[in-house]
Amino acid sequence: MMVGTVPVGGDAPVTVQSMTTTKTADVEGTLAQIYALAGAGCDIVRCTCNEEEAAEGLAHIVASKPIPIVADIHFQYKLALAAMEAGVHALRLNPGNIRKPAHIKLVASEARDRGLPIRIGVNAGSLDPDIAAQYGGATPEALVASAVRELDHFREVDFDDVKISVKASNVGLMIDAYRLLADTVDHPLHLGVTEAGPPPAGLVKSAAGIGTLLAAGIGDTIRFSLTADPVEEARAGRVLVEALGLRERRSVDLIACPSCGRAEVDVIAVATAAQAALEARNIPLQVAVMGCVVNGPGEARDADLGIAAGRGKGHLFVKGQVVRVVPEAEMVEALIAEAEAIVAEGIDARLAAADADAEAIAAAEREQLIELRGVDANRSADKIARIRELADE
Ligand code: SF4
C-alpha cells in the first residue's frame, strides 16, 4: 500500500512512525514537531483528529507536511470523514471505539473512493467489550478476531487497502497476537508495544516486542510508543531497523567496548563525546571507540573507523588499519576529522593517505603494553600494592 508517497508492505523497506503530542489545532506547533520527527528518521507521522478544530488544523498541516500524515480517529466517525476532507494520507481506526457497522462502512467507502488506506488499530486496552467477553479478555485470539471483524465490514463495501496492528502493553501478548495475525491475514502489519512507558523500560519493551517480530520476518512499519518526546520514538525506531539491517544507515553507528581493566582512557567519556560530535555532523559511518590498543583495533576491525587508546596516545584506524597515532588529548578531535575526511574522500583514499609509519609505531606500542600489562590485564599487582599501602596508612 501507499501512505502518501511512502510504500508500506510487500518488499518495501520497514518504515518508522511516530505520533505528535501537540494539539492538532496548533498548526505551527504540530508542524514544528513533524519536521523534527522527519529529521530524526520518521517516515510517517500520526496526528490525533479528536475534534473539529483538529480536522481544520490538519487541512493546514497537510499542505506543508514533509512526510505523510495519518489521522488518528477515536469514537467519532464524522471526524474520520472530516480528516479525509482535510487531505490526510491515511486513517487509523480503533475497532473498539467506532463499533456501529454502518459508520465503519461509511468511512471505508469514503476511503475507497478517495484511494486512501486505513489502519485497523486494535488495542488490548480498548478491545470491543463483546469480543473481550467472548474470548475471556484480551487474548491474542480476541485481538485478532477484532481486526478480522473490522476487515469483514470493510470487505462488504469492497475496501481492502488496509494495514493492521494488534498492540498490547504486555510484550508476550503482543508478540503472540502478531504471530497469530500474520498467520491469519495477508495485509501489511504495523508493529508496536502500546503504552510502553518512559525510557529505559519503554525502549527495552518496545525493542524486545518489535525486534523479535521483525527478526522473524513479521512487520512492515513500526512505532515505539514511549512516554517521551516523540523525537525519541523516531530515533529509537530508526536505530532498531538499522541495527536489524532492515534500513540503510542514515546516522552514526557508534560501537564502543564496555571497558575493562585494560582500558587506558575513560571509554565512557570518549565515546559520549564522539557520539555527540558525530551525531551533530550527521555522519553515517560505523565508528568504534576502544579502550585499549591490545584488543581494540582487532575487535573493531569491521568498523569504518575507530580509535583505540594506547599509553597516552590514540591509535586511529580505518577498516582495522592504523592510519595515525595521535596524543590522547586529541583522540576525539582526530576521530571527527577522520570521519569527515572519509565522508568527503572515501575509505580507499583515506587508507592511501595513512601516515607511513603509523602501523609500525602502533605495533611497537602494542607490544610494549602486552609486555607491561599482558599477563595482568586487570593490573591486579598494582592494585594490590595500593590496597596494602592504604591499609598501612
Ligand atoms: S580489552 Fe581493551 S578493548 Fe576490550 S574491553 Fe578491555 S579496554 Fe576495551
H or E stretch covering 122: strand 118-123
Give the chain's domains with CATH numbers.
Answer: 2-243 (3.20.20.20), 253-373 (3.30.413.10)
CB of 256 within 6 A of ligand 1: the answer is no
With a CB cutoff of 8 Å and minimum separation 6, the contacts of 184 are 144, 148
In tens, the pLDDT along 270-291 reads: 999 999 999 899 898 999 999 9
Q: Where are the alpha helices (DSSP H) in the chain?
A: 27-39, 52-64, 77-86, 101-114, 129-135, 140-156, 171-184, 201-215, 230-243, 267-280, 296-299, 331-345, 347-352, 358-373, 380-392
Cell 474520520, residue?
80
Closest residue by Cα to atom 5, ligand 1, is 259
Residue nearest ligand 1's atom 3 by CA:
296
pLDDT tens by residue, 76-126: 999 999 999 999 999 999 998 898 999 999 999 999 999 999 999 999 999
| Range scoring the smallest mean pLDDT among 60-64, 92-96, 364-368 | 364-368
Quote the ligand 1 centre to 288 CA distance (angstroms): 12
What's the rounded mean pLDDT across residues 325-339? 95
Work out the average pLDDT over 135-147.
Answer: 97
Instruction: Say yes or no: CB of residue 296 within 6 Å of ligand 1.
Output: yes
What number is the average pLDDT over the span 348-361? 95
Residues 245 and 274: beta-carbon distance below 8 Å: no
